[in-house]
C-alpha cells in the first residue's frame, strides 16, 4: 500500500511540476511575470493577496485543462505514464474522456481542495485516511474506477526519480542563464 501511495503522490506532483515550470518559463519570456510583480507595488496587503490568489486560480484552471488534455490524448497524465499507473473503469477498460474529466474534477475539488491554502492540507489528509482505510480514493469509489499499478522494477524507480529531478535541473539552468 505504501509504495502505491508514494507512486500516486509522485505522479501527481510530477505532472504539476512539469506544467508549472512550462508556465513559469512562458510567463517570464512573455513578460507576464514582471507585469504581475510591477502591478503589486501600489496595492494593499489584501489587494496583493487577492491578485495572487486570482493568478494562482487561473494557473490551476490552466493546469486542470492540461491534465484533461493529456488524459484525452494519451489515456493518462504524464506522471501516471512515467510511474506506471493507469485508471480503469468498472469493466477494466481505460477510462472514457467523460469519466476522466469527472474524475479529474473530483480529484481537484475533493482531493486537493482546489489548491486553496489550509483546505488543500485538510483535503490531502482526509484523502490519505480514506485511501488507507478503504483502499481507494473517494472519487474512485464514487465513479467506480480504480488505479491499476503495473509492476515497478528497481530501474523504473531510478528512472522515475530522475524524471522528477530533471525538470528542477532544467528550471535551474534556465534561471541561471536568463537572470545571471
pLDDT value for 122: 92
| Domain ranges across the chain | 2-179
Considering only CA atoms, which of 113, 180, 98, 135 is closest in space to residue 4? 135
Q: Which grid cell sits at 166?
A: 530533471
pLDDT tens-digit readout, 4-46: 888 888 888 887 788 778 878 887 788 777 777 777 777 777 7
Q: Using CA atoms, how far apart are residues 120 and 112, in angstroms rounded to an integer?
A: 5
Residues 162, 86: Cα–Cα separation, whole Å: 21
**At 83, is the secondary structure helix, strand, or coil?**
coil
pLDDT digit string, tens, across residues 66-96: 888 887 777 788 888 888 888 888 898 888 8
* pLDDT per residue as tens digits for the range 125-161: 888 888 888 888 888 899 988 888 888 778 777 877 8
Cβ pair 69, 104 in contact under 8 A: no
**Residue 1: is its pLDDT beyond 70?**
no
Amino acid at each position: 500500500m505504501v509504495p502505491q501511495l508514494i507512486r500516486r503522490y509522485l505522479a501527481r506532483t510530477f505532472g504539476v511540476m512539469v506544467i508549472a515550470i512550462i508556465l513559469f518559463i512562458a510567463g517570464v519570456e512573455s513578460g507576464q511575470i514582471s507585469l504581475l510583480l510591477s502591478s503589486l507595488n501600489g496595492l494593499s496587503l489584501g489587494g496583493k493577496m487577492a491578485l495572487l490568489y486570482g493568478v494562482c486560480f487561473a494557473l490551476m484552471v490552466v493546469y486542470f485543462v492540461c491534465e484533461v488534455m493529456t488524459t484525452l490524448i494519451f489515456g493518462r497524465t504524464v506522471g501516471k505514464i512515467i510511474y506506471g499507473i493507469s485508471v480503469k473503469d468498472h469493466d477494466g477498460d481505460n477510462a472514457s474522456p467523460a469519466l476522466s474529466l469527472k474524475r479529474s474534477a473530483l480529484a481537484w475539488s475533493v482531493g486537493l481542495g482546489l489548491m486553496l491554502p489550509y483546505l488543500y492540507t485538510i483535503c490531502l489528509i482526509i484523502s490519505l485516511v480514506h485511501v488507507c482505510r478503504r483502499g481507494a480514493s473517494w472519487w474512485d469509489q464514487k465513479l467506480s474506477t480504480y488505479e491499476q499499478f503495473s509492476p515497478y522494477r528497481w530501474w523504473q524507480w531510478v528512472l522515475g526519480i530522475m524524471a522528477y529531478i530533471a525538470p528542477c535541473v532544467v528550471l535551474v539552468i534556465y534561471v541561471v542563464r536568463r537572470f545571471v
